[in-house]
Structure 1
Amino acid sequence: MEEAITNGWEQGVGGDVPVLSNAVRAKAAWRTDDELERVMQKYTFNWSSIPPFCRVMCARGSLSVSTALNQVMSRVTKIDMASASAPQPRIFTITSLQHAVAAIAAMANRGVRQCLSDITFYLVTIIAIATLGPLQFGFHLAELNAPQDVITCRKKTISTAARLAAWVHSSKPKDKAPAGLLPDCIPMSEAAFATVSSVFTLGGLVGALCAGPLSSRRGRLPAMRATALCYVVGAVVETFAGRVWLLALGRLLAGLGAGASTVIVPLYISEVSPPDERGLFGAMTQVSINVGILGTQTLGYFLSHGAAWRWILAAGAGVAFAQAVGLLAVPESPAWMAAHGDPVKAKATLQRIRGESFDVQSEVVNWDHHERRGSNDEEEGLLSQPEAVPSSPTSIRSHKAPVHLGFLQVVADPLYRPAIVAVVGIMVAQQFCGINSIIMYSVSLLADLLPISSALLTILISVVNLGMTIACSPLPDRLGRKTCLLLSIVGQGTSSFVLAFAIVYGVKMLSAIAVLFFVAFFAVGLGPVPFIMASELVGQEAVGATQSWCLAANYVATFIVAQFFPIVNTALNNALGGKGWVYFLFAALAAASAVFVSWRVPETRGKRDADEVWGRTRRLD
């Protein structure tokens, strides 16, 4: 886009290129040419002040001509002629500005056509199959939410709506297993249920830490097939569990698959996606997680009675089996094959993914053995061994080839320690603000307050979560990462306070509204931003170890919330009387998180590298 602006400038000054039509200029909302001329004589264009989001969206064809023009004009800066550092003034004329926008429009049109030509049906198919892994992560995370009281024998049914009552009663006899082989419920205490729920996150932690080495040494495809096997076995064990320990074992196995999927699938998607569409397809991981949560909450709305809850778990086994079969038709990552000595097959596979008419040579030439090894090591995290990778501004320690830093090295090095503190802090904040208390326990939490609509409200929560995740995806690039984090934390903290007040004093409608705003504010920043910032706060030599710290903090914090939320909630309710007091605690934790982010987390938007983020000019050895 910068080149387009420059070319448009030069053509506007001395070239002979047709100007934009009056209709387009009118669409841009400029009132008169004379007024624009006066504005442009006082201001000069400063390219560096244009937000990166605007540049990217113009290049990809997602920004209209009028919006592009308004973005340009809204970011022009007045020159301080007395300043020695002020840039040399370059005055736009109406014609030159028109040519600049015309060039942007041409780039946008080419971007749309290029985007469509890059995406093939085969590519969409293999990515859809791969993202069934993260989808199951979301599915298993929330699968016990709606039927909790039925599974633990506290209730025989959860009436989700009056119109379903007759259907529930007529279906009850069919729920019982033949000859009493499977009980309708599994008696367990609140602490035991919390353990069953939280063991999923322990499995996820182990799976995530093992996934990097497995996918690096054996390939992305075998690793994904291993996760599918964990999902299948885990879901089957859960479905037929008659004892608490069997249900916990199934959750543990499913957690292994879920944790591994969160590492392998994003890596696989980034390696098979066209370079210009990696951001688009990369977002599918988070979207698929939310689809899984929505799916299991919807099933829970209809199947939380008798032994029908087992069909919820069986649905997870069905999705896992479908993925296992689908992976038989999915190719290995071309980049991984090229890095492991099979460039001919890698190129043929890439050509099939891109389409026969697509020129893949530009991607093939970028397959460098040492760079791919460095990339693979970044995903290994905790278990990675130091290997040579290309140097970066923060990794040059001697004339020898730089090494990939390990898990403990980044903590010991004062250069990287602030980044580790930042990523661990925001990951802990993500969980300690209480999002999983809603995802995992919303039905039991709101059941007595909203006995008719609590399960339906949970579905609405999942819809809001999915919709807001998609809608808010551009915000970190528009507003900045730190701004989104603070907005999200303050919004969630306020919603927690309102939710606690509403539950304690029995204000039903206010509690429902507070829950929806709570989830919506999570999607603004605390949902997507922590995963973005891990790779922006350090150089390439430390990205893998930083991601390991990020991942470890996420799963440990998730385990703490899943394990202790019901216990702390019950203790506070018994001590203070009533319900909902725990959300005052979440509000206080949100306030502490906001202070931490304000002081210890830097802004990364628009920064070239980690050195610029931290304001460094040299190593601090």
Structure 2
Amino acid sequence: MLPAALRRVTEGVTPYFCFLLLVVTLGPHQFGFHLAELNAPQDVITCHSGKTPSTIYGKGSVDCIPMNEAQFATVSSIFTVGGLIGALVAGPFCSRFGRLPAMRITGLLFTAGSIFETLATSIAMLAVGRIFNGVGAGAATVIVPLYISEVAPVQSRGFFGAFTQITVNVGILFTQTLGYFQSQKADWRTILGTGIVLASAQSLGLLFVPESPSWMVARHDDPATLQKARRTLQRIRGSKANLDAEVANWPGNARSAEEQALLGQEAAGISGDGDGEGVVVIAPPSPRPAAAALGKAKKPTIGFFGLVKDPFYRPALIAIIGIMFAQQVCGINSVIMYSVSLLNGMLPLNSGVLTIIISAVNLIMTMFSAPLPDRLGRKACLLISVVGQGTSSFLLAFSIVYGIKILSALSVLTFVAFFAVGLGPVPFILASELVGQEAVGATQSWALGANYVATFLVAQFFPLINTALNAKLGGAGWVYFLFAFFAVLSTIFFWFYVPETNGKKDADEVWGRTARVD
């Protein structure tokens, strides 16, 4: 017999829904895959493995592409530039044209990007492929969570929403493992070519995925579309599922509970006619009081730049931008994107094997930490995470500088584990909880923009700063003292400026202020 919590999560889950979940999460999976794909084969791709370029596949094809450190950093970080573009464009596009066309376009972008990367014979060609994949990845991080939230059973949307982050980490683990076995000679092209297989599988699977019923209902109110939306939802929920409660608020369906109660009272009520006799009065349908009330209370939507100009929302904007920058400047992508070359020879394990272990720890901790923000609170998880990651950074730097290899290995593992506790998932939760519904869209756009900008800065400049510090101070590992310093600054920022949102009914209660009246 299944535990109650597990029964609640699996209630309403059908094989067809599982198929949809598998197909659509191939988008976030490829985000993780392409984020880490150059890590393991870095030395081979850049001709730093002791070999010189040689033609092996025919005219114009080489087994490596000569690059210096700055050029490789640019190729790596340009993925995040594409991600920023994709994230900003995807929201308006999928709102206007639908979730399904948007996801299909990401499949095409992933396919084109992977082809460019696999066949690349120059830095420019490799960079173009990275941009295409970045745009697809950025778009997928926006579209897929929306689609899952709209097709998942109501009582388990939070659980299945976590699959986006989980599949990102699965993608990272997959590519790190593949890179361990394929990072020699021209075999790195096999790693990048696997992206073509993943993108093709996504594109093929999406041919059998329907449009989100919620989007169809929100964008169209004609009877044919509403019937199609209901048939789609019935297929997702199962032929025997009762949809009445879920579709109650769809246009053309049953009136609101308030209106039904009112009409019921009017139909069955006794009205006096002045002489004491009662007559049955059947009143015509009246306007929906609930809808009218909501219409009066509804706040105007806040735009992207309106969020900056309005002092009412400015504290939330500063908080979310600070949180997103903290997520990156504490150094997680220094491990995800550069760990093999960075840690080579510094630790007791082969750096490729350690990278696989790191990715596995990241995945496992992400899964086990999913309930913590609701149990401990968002701010508590952020503080535990940043203090733990900062301490791990300090110990990692200390152990590398003084050659304590076992401490180095343990520190890098705890560094990743603490990230998964709070800095990984919580920033994206807070982006929708620090403001009211009227400003959620604009806040999410700022959050994604800040995240990709910070990711770009770390990806682009980390290798250069690391090399400069090592040359200036002698030895390796000094850059992690810098990450520890950023963790201290982030801790101070979280403590004094980021409010707790867990258990608060709305953004006004979060900030301890009176609701705004426009």
TM over 0.5: yes
Equivalent residue for 2:57, pick from 174, 178, 182: 178
Tell me the equivalent position of 2:478: 581
Helix, strand or coil for the counterpart of 1:556? helix
Which residue type is aligned with residue 198 of structure 1? S
Bigger mean CA deviation after superposition, 526-535 or 176-185: 176-185
2:131 matches 1:290:
no
Which residue type is aligned with residue 361 of structure 1? D
| Contact 1:415–1:620 (8 Å) recurs in 2 | no
Tell me the equivalent position of 2:159: 280
Residues 362-400 of structure 1, C-alpha deviations (whole Å, 9 max, x = no match)? 11123369xxxxxxxxxxxxxxxxxxxx99x9xx9x969
Helix, strand or coil for the counterpart of 1:348? helix
In the alignment, the residues of structure 1 paired with residue 11 and residue 484 of structure 2 have an alpha-carbon distance, to the nearest angstrom, of 48
In the alignment, the residues of structure 1 paired with residue 346 and residue 139 of structure 2 have an alpha-carbon distance, to the nearest angstrom, of 38
Alignment of 1:218-257 (within 5 A): 218-257=97-136
2:33 matches 1:150:
no
Equivalent residue for 2:28, pick from 131, 134, 137: 134
| Contact 1:486–1:594 (8 Å) recurs in 2 | yes
Helix, strand or coil for the counterpart of 1:364? coil
Tell me the equivalent position of 1:362: 245
1:188 and 1:316, CA in 2 relative to 1: closer, same or farther beyond 3 A? same
Alignment of 1:149-548 (within 5 A): 149-156=43-50, 177-179=56-58, 181-341=60-220, 342-367=225-250, 402-450=299-347, 453-548=350-445
In the alignment, the residues of structure 1 paired with residue 65 and residue 348 of structure 2 have an alpha-carbon distance, to the nearest angstrom, of 22
Tell me the equivalent position of 1:97: none
Helix, strand or coil for the counterpart of 2:249? coil
In the alignment, the residues of structure 2 paired with residue 534 and residue 300 of structure 1 have an alpha-carbon distance, to the nearest angstrom, of 34
In the alignment, the residues of structure 1 paired with residue 70 and residue 92 of structure 2 have an alpha-carbon distance, to the nearest angstrom, of 35
| Contact 2:348–2:406 (8 Å) recurs in 1 | no
| Contact 2:324–2:427 (8 Å) recurs in 1 | yes
Which residue type is aligned with residue 345 of structure 1? K
Q: CA deviation at 1:112?
A: 5.2
| Contact 1:234–1:250 (8 Å) recurs in 2 | yes
In the alignment, the residues of structure 2 paired with residue 366 and residue 276 of structure 1 have an alpha-carbon distance, to the nearest angstrom, of 17
Q: CA deviation at 1:448?
A: 3.0
1:468 and 1:399, CA in 2 relative to 1: closer, same or farther beyond 3 A? closer
Which residue type is aligned with residue 148 of structure 1? Q
Which residue type is aligned with residue 353 of structure 1? I
| Contact 2:81–2:452 (8 Å) recurs in 1 | yes
| Contact 2:319–2:497 (8 Å) recurs in 1 | yes
1:275 and 1:451, CA in 2 relative to 1: closer, same or farther beyond 3 A? same
Which residue type is aligned with residue 584 of structure 1? F
Helix, strand or coil for the counterpart of 2:245? helix
In the alignment, the residues of structure 2 paired with residue 261 and residue 530 of structure 1 have an alpha-carbon distance, to the nearest angstrom, of 18
| Contact 1:156–1:305 (8 Å) recurs in 2 | no
In the alignment, the residues of structure 1 paired with residue 193 and residue 319 of structure 2 have an alpha-carbon distance, to the nearest angstrom, of 40
| Contact 1:503–1:579 (8 Å) recurs in 2 | yes
Helix, strand or coil for the counterpart of 2:390? helix
Tell me the equivalent position of 2:453: 556
In the alignment, the residues of structure 2 paired with residue 198 and residue 606 of structure 1 have an alpha-carbon distance, to the nearest angstrom, of 38
| Contact 1:176–1:306 (8 Å) recurs in 2 | no
1:474 and 1:400, CA in 2 relative to 1: closer, same or farther beyond 3 A? closer
Question: How many aligned residue pairs are there?
Answer: 474
Bigger mean CA deviation after superposition, 111-120 or 264-273: 111-120
1:368 and 1:468, CA in 2 relative to 1: closer, same or farther beyond 3 A? farther
| Contact 2:90–2:102 (8 Å) recurs in 1 | yes
Q: CA deviation at 1:505?
A: 1.4
Helix, strand or coil for the counterpart of 2:246? helix
Alignment of 1:14-163 (within 5 A): 108=4, 113=7, 115-156=9-50
Which residue type is aligned with residue 237 of structure 2? R
Helix, strand or coil for the counterpart of 2:58? helix
In the alignment, the residues of structure 1 paired with residue 145 and residue 318 of structure 2 have an alpha-carbon distance, to the nearest angstrom, of 24
Unmatched 5+ stretches in structure 1: 1-60, 63-107, 158-174, 370-389
Residues 114-146 of structure 1, C-alpha deviations (whole Å, 9 max, x = no match)? 543400000010111000000000000000000
Larger RCO (alpha carbons 8 Å, 6+ apart): 2
Residues 31-64 of structure 1, C-alpha deviations (whole Å, 9 max, x = no match)? xxxxxxxxxxxxxxxxxxxxxxxxxxxxxx86xx
1:569 and 1:544, CA in 2 relative to 1: closer, same or farther beyond 3 A? same
TM-score normalised by L of structure 2: 0.88
Which residue type is aligned with residue 256 of structure 1? V
Unmatched 5+ stretches in structure 2: 253-289
Provide the identity percentage.
Answer: 63
Residues 489-515 of structure 1, C-alpha deviations (whole Å, 9 max, x = no match)? 000000000111111112211111110
In the alignment, the residues of structure 1 paired with residue 310 and residue 447 of structure 2 have an alpha-carbon distance, to the nearest angstrom, of 17
Which residue type is aligned with residue 250 of structure 1? G
Q: CA deviation at 1:447?
A: 0.9
In the alignment, the residues of structure 2 paired with residue 368 and residue 503 of structure 1 have an alpha-carbon distance, to the nearest angstrom, of 63
| Contact 1:150–1:304 (8 Å) recurs in 2 | yes
In the alignment, the residues of structure 1 paired with residue 8 and residue 496 of structure 2 have an alpha-carbon distance, to the nearest angstrom, of 42
Helix, strand or coil for the counterpart of 1:367? coil
1:280 and 1:368, CA in 2 relative to 1: closer, same or farther beyond 3 A? farther
| Contact 1:534–1:546 (8 Å) recurs in 2 | yes
In the alignment, the residues of structure 2 paired with residue 227 and residue 515 of structure 1 have an alpha-carbon distance, to the nearest angstrom, of 33
Residues 66-105 of structure 1, C-alpha deviations (whole Å, 9 max, x = no match)? xxxxxxxxxxxxxxxxxxxxxxxxxxxxxxxxxxxxxxxx
Helix, strand or coil for the counterpart of 2:177? helix
Helix, strand or coil for the counterpart of 1:365? coil
In the alignment, the residues of structure 2 paired with residue 525 and residue 424 of structure 1 have an alpha-carbon distance, to the nearest angstrom, of 16
Helix, strand or coil for the counterpart of 1:307? helix
Equivalent residue for 1:611, pick from 477, 495, 508: 508
Q: CA deviation at 1:401?
A: 5.5
Q: CA deviation at 1:198?
A: 0.3
Helix, strand or coil for the counterpart of 1:179? coil
Alignment of 1:595-606 (within 5 A): 595-606=492-503
In the alignment, the residues of structure 1 paired with residue 511 and residue 213 of structure 2 have an alpha-carbon distance, to the nearest angstrom, of 35
Q: CA deviation at 1:177?
A: 3.2
| Contact 1:481–1:604 (8 Å) recurs in 2 | yes
Residues 243-292 of structure 1, C-alpha deviations (whole Å, 9 max, x = no match)? 00000000000000000000000000000001101011101000000000
Q: CA deviation at 1:402?
A: 3.1
| Contact 2:347–2:406 (8 Å) recurs in 1 | no
Bigger mean CA deviation after superposition, 322-331 or 411-420: 411-420
